[in-house]
Amino acid sequence: MTLKACPDSPNCVSTQADPSDTGHYMDATSYSADADAVITAIIDAVSSNGGTVTSSTERTVDALFVTKLLKFKDDVSFELDDDAKLIHFRSASRVGHSDLGANRKRMEMLIPKVLSRLG
């Protein structure tokens, strides 16, 4: 289980980045529900917060977010580690260098919404 690594540019965050890389690293989120419920909660949270789910499996969700002003495309991926009961994620801009913290803010907004759907 491995999400794509973040580039050197500061327009990406990932739970699988090196924890000492404070610009890219974010903590994975624990869950206690079954995987199907978590995937459903992720899909619901993405869809109701401006994203489009582009693919999903029993353990993964990929989505696309488009910024309102300049129409930049950001890719977001979720992956469940059912053994450790952790939601891993990555959010990255497709182009540009800096995203002014947009990917981190998006994940800080989305993860609580996923968890709230799990009860």
Residues 19-42: what's their mean pLDDT?
A: 97
In this prediction, residue 1 has a pLDDT band, given cuts at 50, 70 and 90, of low
Give me the CATH topology for the region 20-117: TATA-Binding Protein (3.30.310)
- The pTM score is 0.93
**Looking at the predicted structure, is the pLDDT value of residue 92 above 80?**
yes
In this prediction, residue 2 has a pLDDT band, given cuts at 50, 70 and 90, of confident
Domain boundaries, the chain: 20-117
Residues 85-105: what's their mean pLDDT?
A: 87
Share of the chain above pLDDT 90, in %: 81
**Looking at the predicted structure, is the pLDDT value of residue 12 above 80?**
yes
**Looking at the predicted structure, is the pLDDT value of residue 18 above 90?**
yes
Cα atoms in the 13 Å half-sphere on the side-chain side of 6: 29
* Cα distances (Å, whole numbers) of residue 115 to 17, 40, 106, 111: 22, 11, 15, 6
**Sign (positive/negative) of CA torsion 33, 19, 94, 111?**
positive
Among 24-33, 40-49, 56-65, 87-96, where is mean pLDDT lowest? 87-96
